[in-house]
A and B are shown apart, each in its own frame.
Chain A
Amino acid sequence: EDQVTQSPEALRLQEGESSSLNCSYTVSGLRGLFWYRQDPGKGPEFLFTLYSAGEEKEKERLKATLTKKESFLHITAPKPEDSATYLCAVQVTGTASKLTFGTGTRLQVTL
């Protein structure tokens, strides 16, 4: 069975304190790994897609990396507006695009 596990469940950072969120996955065949941001009362907002081990993508203070077993979302010098739940999801070969999500990491960045 395909599984996605995110850690930690919750993370509290001070403004400027860099850290990383982890997404580990066990799938029969990975077609793509996706990172989303979700604010309270809103739908998930697309951040990145990663396709193969060694790939990295960056957007502002966020950088996503991928290995054969896990992905990291690195947050550099976070600001309070980065506070949100970060969701990781996988697309598995042979499953026609549906996403399998982890339970997310709730990030709070304080002044």
Chain B
Amino acid sequence: GAGVSQSPRYKVAKRGQDVALRCDPISGHVSLFWYQQALGQGPEFLTYFQNEAQLDKSGLPSDRFFAERPEGSVSTLKIQRTQQEDSAVYLCASSAGTGHSNQPQHFGDGTRLSIL
């Protein structure tokens, strides 16, 4: 498809387990972003990649959160030793522009993560 694709759409894990969330951006998009959206709230920034370089990870809430984009295309967000407060929708967005452009970000439909 032409849009941003995220998998899985839903993930249920027990507290303490590790999870990995995948994002396939729009083909050719240089910039890739991860956001976390709690119920009834707006998305909150987690991290930003320009190609394979992670240029901003200021929004990652703890060192249990790790993101990578090794070949400058697909990205994975990994959460280690999950906690209940990690339950949220994780959104991925991509953009054709580089770091300081005003190109709009296009979002996937997210992964809904539930920690039991």
A-side residues, CB < 8 A to B, are 4, 31-32, 34, 36, 41-46, 49, 51, 87, 89, 91, 95-104
Contact = CB atoms under 8 A, between A and B. Distances in A.
The 10 closest A-B CB pairs, nearest first, are A101-B42, A43-B107, A96-B99, A98-B45, A46-B104, A32-B102, A43-B109, A44-B107, A103-B42, A43-B108
A99 B43 contact: yes
Nearest to A106: B40
A103 B105 contact: no
B55 A100 contact: no
Interface class of chain B by DSSP: loop
Contact of B43 (A31, A42, A95, A101): A101
Contacts, number: 66
B97 to A, nearest CB: 7
Nearest to A104: B42
A42 B106 CA distance: 12
Contacts of B102: 31-32, 49, 51, 91
Contacts of B109: 41-43
B42 A34 contact: no
B56 interface: yes
B48 A96 contact: yes
Interface string B38-51: 00111111001000
24 contacts: A32-B102, A42-B109, A43-B4, A43-B93, A43-B107, A43-B109, A44-B43, A44-B91, A87-B42, A87-B43, A89-B42, A96-B55, A96-B56, A97-B33, A97-B97, A97-B100, A97-B105, A98-B33, A98-B48, A98-B56, A99-B33, A99-B45, A103-B41, A103-B42
